[in-house]
Amino acid sequence: MIPSCDGVDSELEPLVPVVDENGERKMKLEFNVKDYKPEEVKVKMLGNNTLQVSAEHDEKNEKGEVRRRLFLRQYRLPKGVDVEHLRPSLSKDGVLTIEAPAPGLAPSERLVPIQYQADNSGN
């Protein structure tokens, strides 16, 4: 569980990206969990609108000491995300993708053009 901090604005929570792909509006999150075995990765819904992604791995060294690696992310999902139809999938290269229909939400991303500067060093 992530500790709460008093006085932290809830708008500072991670934003959930909504995208249009193949004519379907959906929430799409991606996580790099390549350092964990598939059985160590867990996706949970906490209450009605909080998505939790966690992974835990223990390694013993030659001295018998245990080293624990922990991955934990939580997202408050906006109203309009169909949490009953979450689709987590894990690729061979360790990318966990979680998608869910979000027909009532506008896409939250747009391409912002980059202005490239010419090299004026005279070389």
Domain boundaries, the chain: 32-99
- pTM: predicted TM-score of the whole model, two decimal places: 0.70
pLDDT digits (tens, 9 = 90+) for 45-97: 999 889 999 999 998 888 889 899 999 999 998 888 999 999 999 999 999 99
CA nearest to 42, candidates 34, 50, 54, 31: 54
How far is 47 from 43, CA to CA, in rounded Å?
A: 13
Q: Which CATH number fits domain 32-99: 2.60.40.790, 3.20.20.70, 1.20.120.420, 2.40.100.10?
A: 2.60.40.790
From residue 44, how far is each of 72, 74, 108, 112 by CA, in Å? 11, 9, 23, 33
Name every residue whose Cβ is closer than 8 Å to that of residue 30 and which is 6 or more positions away in sequence. Answer: 95, 96, 97, 98
